Structure 1
Amino acid sequence: MQLFKSDNRKTSILPLFAVGTFGLNIFTLLILMFHGSMLQQLSRQLTPQSLVQLADGRAITADTTENLERYPQTIRRFVGETMTLMLTWSKQQQPETVWQISSELLTNNVKQKFQSEVIDVNTTNQFENRGAESVLVIQRISQPQKIGDGKWKVELQANQLIFNNSDRLGKSVPFNKQILVQATDTQTTSLPDLPVSWNLAAYRLGEARLEIYNICDIKDKNCS
């Protein structure tokens, strides 16, 4: 009779032991999953994203090795679209706003030079002329000339068409420049909480991880 009770107790303990073992295994699995997610996040932080260049000139970022090389079409597209973004504005999109957004694609040492010598063409302050509208019409972008590791020179021939309330026919200002660009390790542009179309355009250009570090006249032989 006592033997029967002892066996009955052992039988009743077995389900509890099985439930406890199962619960322990679940807890261990959750810990392993947590550690795995932490390792993945750490891996992402230690492995910076690098540039992936597409055949059509567009650029995206991916987790690959860093490099300072860029396809010629990527450089030409960056230069053409960046200068078009900077020198195209209207009553709806004032030049101050355009400049604030697009100047992220320039290095600090060239920002003031560009604003004073290029945007304020013919000593006329376009920023103060609220009725002015500007469009950059590109005629030619040369093939990039490599001038150093991760550095290139591009010749741009274009015309800046400027319109205002008193002159709807507008005037054409030659824009023939040498544009010097360099590769960067990280993207220089960022998006605000409520981006507008110009923010998105500048951010997309910044994905090429290029920046303009000098702008010279096309005939300047000392541009460096």
Structure 2
Amino acid sequence: MMVSCSNSAKINKVNQKQIIGVQLADGDVVTAKTAQVNERSDEVLRTFIQKWLYLSFNWTTADVTVEVEDLKVKVPGNVYAATFPITTKDNYRAEYTKELAALITKATGGRKVQSAISIEYISEKPTKIREGLWEVTMVSTWTGMDIENGQEVFRIPFNKKVQLKTIPIASKPTFQNAKELTGMQQIINEINQYGLMLVSIDNYDLQ
């Protein structure tokens, strides 16, 4: 576990890279390493990408959908949650969401589908472009199975090269009313706590 020095005034006083004990809300104590605000370990970067992929593609057409009002498109709740860590600069998040929504509609074709992602590779050593910015490549396959007859209805490569930028880790979760949190809001809170933003998502050619 890595703790950003921006989270607490007390942590700011701890020597860089010192190993400390952190007590969680449930009372458990875990070992953590302090880090500079713009520092993320390779493990954190890889875990973030893995969770983002699972969020984006592990769902069924029977799940709750979210209508993105500004875009006039509907996407599964998990997909909507997965768009939160994508930059909004130059309308990037909106354009990505529209493209993915169109792809989902075309791939599922109105069928009742179980969607899943098979991850074959995520960069073991993300490339550091500059302080607080990394490039990560991934090789994966998006598949869909007809829930009613069990037949595979599509198999689509999802090979991407993305750039990840550090952002301040919020001291409070995005959604705070614990008693009324929906599952989707909890997921958004969790992924936002990585303090990472996807600033570009480009196709990755295996050849």
Q: Is the partner of 1:191 in helix, strand or coil? A: coil
Q: How many residues align?
A: 166
Structure richer in strand, relative to its length: 2
Counterpart position of 1:121: 103
- For 1:154 and 1:99, the matched residues in 2 are separated by 20
Kept after mapping to 1: 8 A contact 2:81/2:187: no
Is 2:122 the counterpart of 1:138?
no
Kept after mapping to 2: 8 A contact 1:160/1:173: yes
- For 2:80 and 2:185, the matched residues in 1 are separated by 10
Q: Is the partner of 1:168 in helix, strand or coil? A: coil
TM-score by length of 1: 0.61
Once the two structures are superposed, residues 11-69 of structure 1 have per-residue CA deviations (whole angstroms, 9 ceiling, x without a partner) of xxxxxxxxxxxxxxxxxxxxxxxxxxxxxxxxxxxx9526999x9xxxx9x9x885201
Is 2:160 the counterpart of 1:211?
no
Residues 1-224 of structure 1: pairs in structure 2 closer than 5 A? 49=7, 67-90=37-60, 91-94=62-65, 95-108=75-88, 109-121=91-103, 124=106, 129=110, 131-142=112-123, 143-164=125-146, 168-170=150-152, 171-187=154-170, 190-191=174-175, 193=177, 194-219=180-205
Larger gyration radius, structure 1 or structure 2: 1
Kept after mapping to 1: 8 A contact 2:55/2:81: no
Aligned CA distance change for structure 1 residues 112 and 133 (closer, same or farther; 3 Å) = farther
Q: What residue identity is the alignment partner of 1:181?
A: L
Q: Is the partner of 2:158 in helix, strand or coil? A: strand
Cα shift at 1:99: 3.0
Cα shift at 1:71: 0.3
Kept after mapping to 2: 8 A contact 1:87/1:134: yes
Aligned CA distance change for structure 1 residues 48 and 146 (closer, same or farther; 3 Å) = closer
Once the two structures are superposed, residues 79-98 of structure 1 have per-residue CA deviations (whole angstroms, 9 ceiling, x without a partner) of 11112112221113443422
How big is the alpha-carbon RMSD for the aligned residues of Structure 1 and Structure 2? 3.5
Kept after mapping to 2: 8 A contact 1:87/1:119: no
Say which is worse superposed, 150-159 or 199-208, in terms of deviation. 199-208
Q: Is the partner of 1:105 in helix, strand or coil? A: coil
Unaligned runs of 5+ in 2: 25-31, 66-74
Unaligned runs of 5+ in 1: 1-46
Structure richer in helix, relative to its length: 1
Identity, in percent, stands at: 18
Aligned CA distance change for structure 1 residues 65 and 180 (closer, same or farther; 3 Å) = closer
Q: What residue identity is the alignment partner of 2:200?
A: N
Cα shift at 1:111: 1.5
- For 1:148 and 1:200, the matched residues in 2 are separated by 31
TM-score by length of 2: 0.65
- For 2:107 and 2:202, the matched residues in 1 are separated by 20
Kept after mapping to 2: 8 A contact 1:181/1:214: yes
